[in-house]
Amino acid sequence: MTGVPELVSLRISAWSLKARFALKYHCIKYRTTPYLPLFGELKLRIRLWEWRRKLTVPVMFTPNDGVLMQSYDIAQWADRHSARPDAVRLFPEGKEAQVSSWNAKSDVVLFFGRSSLVEFLLSDPAAMRQQMPPGLRWLGPLGTALMVAIARRLRDKYREEANRTSLTKALDVLREAQAALRAPGALGPDGERHLVGGALTYADMAMAVAVQTLKPFSPLSAANARPQLKVFQPYQEEFADLIAWRDALFTKYFPADNERCTKKSH
């Protein structure tokens, strides 16, 4: 394969957003192949000739480094192929364990968010219709039936992950992140607060994506049509500072125009 990497990604998925965050931060050019559960999975399985393992997206086909099957691996790849003049290392040496631990914690929140979203959509046909990708809308009731089949498939496929998490566990992670960001050591020389070593790392990105579950970031949710989960609404006030931190992080490091990438370093 030559040219730019290809990211197979699901528009609404938090894990695709994690990978896109790291790629965008590092100003890496890539092309996106949209993925649709059910049909997309079969297509991807044929393409990868992978019939045993559970297949998830994002998946990235790189020009020289093979296929990356985890958002975490894609982010690490991005860190090694940065095209950003003033980039910091998102996985700084000696801090990998801490970054990886925050990524695992973000998954605890996201697993709960996914299962709540799937249950909510299955219980609310109007919300289900709203989530329908524009490409399926012309199908009418058949499109809705397809969405229900997709939601059921996701519920079964990720049952094990859903059973490992809960609202209490998700809130514990959010409280831990809030406390870590309030600690004196979180404040970096840039005047921003960070989860690891007072500097921007992938831990911040992973947790900022997890905070989407608590409250979607409006500029992003407009594009991704992510609904607010009712179960988290009562907690938004408690986590106001965490939400504000997430908003600032996305505004600065996930801007719509990304003009930093076109600037020269001198």
Residues that bind ligand GSH (CB under 6 A): 10, 13, 15, 37, 41, 56-58, 70-72, 114, 157
3-state secondary structure of 127: helix
Minimum distance of ligand GSH from residue 89's CB (angstroms):
20
Q: Which is nearer to ligand GSH, 72 or 253 (CB)?
A: 72
Least gap, CB of 57 to ligand GSH (angstroms): 4
Residue 34: is the preceding peptide bond cis (ω within 30°)? no
Least distance in Å: CB of 70 to ligand GSH? 4
- Residue closer to ligand GSH (CB basis): 19 or 196: 19
User: Based on CB atoms, which residue is closest to ligand GSH, 72 or 235?
Assistant: 72
Strand ranges of the sheet holding 6-9, from the earlier edge strand across to the other edge: 31-34, 6-9, 59-61, 67-68
Tell the smallest beta-carbon distance from residue 96 to ligand GSH (Å). Answer: 16
Q: Which residue has the tokens 């970096």?
A: 188
What distance, in Å, lies between the first and last C-alpha atoms of the chain? 33
Q: Considering only CA atoms, which of 99, 117, 126 is closest in space to residue 207? A: 99
- The secondary structure of 37-99 as a DSSP string is TTHHHHHHHHHHT--SS---S-EEE-SSS-EE-SHHHHHHHHHHT---TTPPPSS-TT-HHHH
Q: Which residue, 15 or 25, has its beta carbon nearer to ligand GSH?
A: 15
Euclidean distance between CA atoms 193 and 197, whole angstroms: 10
CB closer to ligand GSH, 81 vs 157:
157
Closest distance to ligand GSH from the beta carbon of 206 (Å): 9
